[in-house]
Amino acid sequence: KLPTHVTLVDVGPRDGLQNEKQAVSTEDKAQLVALLQAAGLKEIEVTSFVSPKWVPQMADNAAVMAAIARQPGVRYSVLTPNLKGFESALATRPDEIVVFAAASEAFSQKNINCSIAESIERFVPVVEAAHAAGIKVRGALSCAVGCPYEGDVSADQVERVVQLMKGIGVDHLGVADTIGVGTPRKVQAAMERALKHYPLVEVSGHFHDTYGQALANIYACLELGVHHFDTSVAGLGGCPYAKGATGNVASEDVVFMFNGLGIDTGIDLDRLVDAGAFISGVLGRPPVSRVARALLAK
Ligand code: HMG
Ligand code: MG
């Protein structure tokens, strides 16, 4: 039996925009957040406190956090790769922070310039400081099914890093298919390893749609009872350290599927399409979301 309701985290403002070459204004980023919450999103990944030399688009992180009009009942999360990032983030009052590690060594080096073991060591003081401030910590596990540099990633590799995250007190584990190469059974195998160490309510799926498999992979997770997914409005996004990685699965496509399955998301699809149309207009191209294109053409 599938879950009856799901929680979606829209990562468009962060994962979606981080890869955009053209500068998006702070005002437009804040407007995107406003439109997402108006559509019913209860969790929004707003920005990341990473090095501006590495990801220039996120350089206005604190300004974006200051510019958003927070709505009660909505939770705002940000990425923090190290204590420096966490300290800057803390001043902006996030509800949740995200530390991010990889299941493959090569990706860890390219993305955060350190080994998996070093990344976990870096996260220790971040998790401690977050908990001391009453902030929940989500752990994103990149390359959980495949790596752009190493190829296939085994479920054993996934479980090893899941255990390291659990060991340092990370509250929630997000299984991420960074380059979208996962297929349903492979994704289930990775998810099952996360579920050996985390309860269902603290596991989520984060799927890039590079190979068009993301909806199938989400359905495969539903079969395991997983009911928490990261999605990106208009299908924006990609990781700057994963060449060719396209956007996360489009929020509109996911909501359309859940509506059809009778699974409650709390999201108004028409208003979500409006949010996607807004940011697509800013970027000067149509939304990647197939559902958005179909509805906008009506
Ligand atoms: P590093 O160069 O090894 O760091 O980068 P460092 O500690 O040696 O510091 C070098 C310089 O960066 C110093 O400045 C620091 O102050 C500064 P300088 O003295 O040269 O002027 N610095 C910072 N500045 C601002 N904020 C910070 C910060 N930390 C150091 N937090 C670092 C290490 C982790 C900082 C760097 O590699 C980095 O920023 N990486 C970010 C990469 C990134 O954002 N990737 C995309 C997000 S992850 C993702 O998209 C995957 C996900 O969606 C899941 C999935 O799909 O897989 C989550
Ligand atoms: Mg991602």
Provide the β-strand partners of residue 45.
Answer: 77
Cβ(178) – ligand 1 distance below 6 Å: yes
For the whole model, what pTM was predicted? 0.97
Three-state SS annotation for 179-239: CCCCCHHHHHHHHHHHHCCCCHHHEEEEEECCCCCHHHHHHHHHHCCCCEEEEEHHHCCCC
User: Across residues 83-100, what is the average pLDDT?
Assistant: 98
Residues sharing a CB contact under 8 Å with residue 251, sequence separation 6 or more, in sequence order = 8, 10, 12, 41, 231, 232, 233, 234, 267, 272, 276, 289
Q: How far apart are CA 187 and CA 137, in angstroms?
A: 23
Ligand 1 atom 28: residue of nearest CA: 51
For residue 111, the ligand 1 atom closest to its alpha carbon is: 42
The secondary structure of 42-86 as a DSSP string is SEEEEEE-S-TTT-GGGTTHHHHHHHS---TT-EEEEE-SSHHHH
Residue numbers annotated as active site: 239
The best mutation among 15, 49, 51, 57 to test binding of ligand 1, ranked by most ligand atoms within 8 Å of the C-beta, falls on 51
User: Across residues 48-55, what is the average pLDDT?
Assistant: 97
pLDDT band for 136, please (50, 70, 90 cuts): very high
Burial 238-274 (b: 16+ CB within 10 A, else e): bbbbbeebbbbbbbbbbbbbbeeeebebebebebbbb
pLDDT in tens, 94-134: 999 999 999 999 999 999 999 999 999 999 999 999 999 99
Going from the Cα of 222 to the center of ligand 1, the distance in angstroms, rounded, reads 33
Question: Mean of the per-residue pLDDT values for the chain?
Answer: 96
pLDDT beyond 80 at 240 = no
Ligand 1 atom 46: residue of nearest CA: 239
Going from the Cα of 85 to the center of ligand 1, the distance in angstroms, rounded, reads 8
pLDDT beyond 90 at 18 = yes
pLDDT at 170: 99
pLDDT at 296: 95
pLDDT band for 294, please (50, 70, 90 cuts): very high
Residue 56 identity = P
Ligand 1 atom 25: residue of nearest CA: 51
Measure Cα distances from 87 to 48, 84, 92, 95, 128 in Å. Answer: 12, 5, 9, 14, 12
Provide the β-strand partners of residue 230.
Answer: 9, 206
